[in-house]
Amino acid sequence: MRYELYYWPDIQGRGEFVRLALEEAGADYVDVVRGRGGVAKLQRLMRRGDHPAFAPPFLKAGRMMVAQTAAILLYLGEREGLAPRAAAQRLWVHQLQLTIADMVAEVHDTHHPIASSLYYEDQRREAARRSRHFVAERVPKFLGYFENILRRPYLAGRSVSYADLSLFQMMAGLDYAFPRSAKRWRRKFVRCAALAERVADRPRIAAYLASDRRIPFNTMGIFRHYPELDGN
């Protein structure tokens, strides 16, 4: 069975956390919206059926459709061997994913602290103010938490999980969006930095990152590089 991933075609966004899991699993999948007529298909499907999605990404697996990044990963993790078998450990990985999801939402709000429906240019002053707190307080709090729980080699022990892939994506995104601050964070949160490298070196992830399936970071996604938001 071929998975169908539905997400906006020109950004990594939240879809990237799902793409990384599908790639690491070596799953058979198609990134539907990157093909012709894809956006129309996404919009048509999104509100249909028994389980409509509030927002992309969503995943179709046969007749099943699931949305919400963390719920998609909960599903894929179990099916594709990207989560521990024991229920308590599987819940722990999910808990970590939800904390990463909270951090992702805060990253988004650094450039959109007022409304997603406004341009960045219409909320620049508020973005600068929010970003100062994000860079100085929030990133150290989040990364400090992950640093503290990281046991080598992976978050939940010996095997890679979808939460490791997501933490890699977070570190990569911070590197792109906040390059000046990220240098400091990599020095301070060495286990997080090492985990990100370990994930990037996994053969399937390395192949994916070198392929044109990996959409480059850009200033339309969640991680955006606006130098004025990158602290001092």
Q: Which residues bind its own copies (CB under 8 A)?
A: 47, 50-52, 54, 64, 66-68, 70-71, 74-75, 88, 91-92, 94-95, 98-99, 102, 105, 109, 113-115, 117-118, 126, 129-130, 133, 137, 142, 145, 148-149
CB 163, min distance to its own copies, A: 12
CB 51, min distance to its own copies, A: 5
CB 20 within 8 A of CB 165: yes
Residue 120: which residues within 8 A CB-CB, separation 6 or more?
111, 112, 127, 219, 224, 226
The C-alpha atoms of residue 141 and residue 157 are separated, in whole angstroms, by 22
Percentage helix, strand, coil for the chain under 3-state DSSP, each rounded to 5:
60, 5, 35
User: Closer CB to its own copies, residue 118 or residue 207?
Assistant: 118
User: Closer CB to its own copies, residue 121 or residue 212?
Assistant: 121
190-200 and 139-149 helices, crossing angle to 10°: 70
CB 70, min distance to its own copies, A: 6
CB 72, min distance to its own copies, A: 9
User: Closer CB to its own copies, residue 137 or residue 197?
Assistant: 137
What's the length of the chain? 232
User: Closer CB to its own copies, residue 65 or residue 215?
Assistant: 65
